[in-house]
Amino acid sequence: DGGITQSPKYLFRKEGQNVTLSCEQNLNHDAMYWYRQDPGQGLRLIYYSQIVNDFQKGDIAEGYSVSREKKESFPLTVTSAQKNPTAFYLCASRSTGPSPLHFGNGTRLTVT
């Protein structure tokens, strides 16, 4: 079945450590996105990529980095510069033309 796989489901890190969240899709979608979800704030866009080797900052990119070396993969690194990294992170993808976002099942990151 086609879909978006995020791993791991839960991630725990100590403050000051960088951590990388994985996102893989087999939908053959060109565009991929990372969102952060916090209670009462809805989904906020971190980064997005329309094609391989190209990506743009979203609304809250500070303290995050991404890469897009393959069409299927769009990993997100949460760096130690991110002041409040504990959150639920969602990866999404979208086909070309008018089409909705499709989401993975998220990674819950807890930093202590």
What does 15-41 look like in DSSP terms, one character per residue? TT--EEEEEEE-S--SEEEEEEEETTT
Shorter beta-carbon distance to other proteins: residue 13 or 108: 108
Binders of other proteins among residues 25 to 64 (CB under 8 A) are 31, 40-43, 45, 48, 50, 58
- Both ends of the chain: CA-CA distance in Å? 36
Alpha carbon 85 to its chain centroid, in Å, reads: 13
Q: Does 85 bind other proteins (CB under 8 A)?
A: no
Q: Does 105 bind other proteins (CB under 8 A)?
A: yes
Residues that bind other proteins (CB under 8 A): 4, 6, 31, 40-43, 45, 48, 50, 58, 88, 90, 94, 96-106, 108
